[in-house]
Structure 1
């Protein structure tokens, strides 16, 4: 599974607007990136004590 951030509106089962982040199967995410519709994103690890921020 990979997360992507959409660069432009796209329909992948449902409508995703530019700036929205969603998680897909690796092959689907790779296809979206290859089509330049989305870019891969990674979650930032939270530091201890950052809970609730």
Structure 2
């Protein structure tokens, strides 16, 4: 759900600059997350941190 909120805030899909492969999936499982976009609404940030 947090990735959907990130996309709402940024207007682009998360990790759009990376190859969507096994390595990316493993990195996400290890905690990799996209940078929080400046001016993201606080209510979005709170929801994203809960997911």
Larger gyration radius, structure 1 or structure 2? 1
Structure with the largest fraction of helix: 2
TM-score range, shorter chain: 0.3 to 0.5
Structure ranking higher on relative contact order (CA contacts 8 Å, 6+ apart):
2
What is the TM-score with the length of structure 2 in the denominator? 0.35
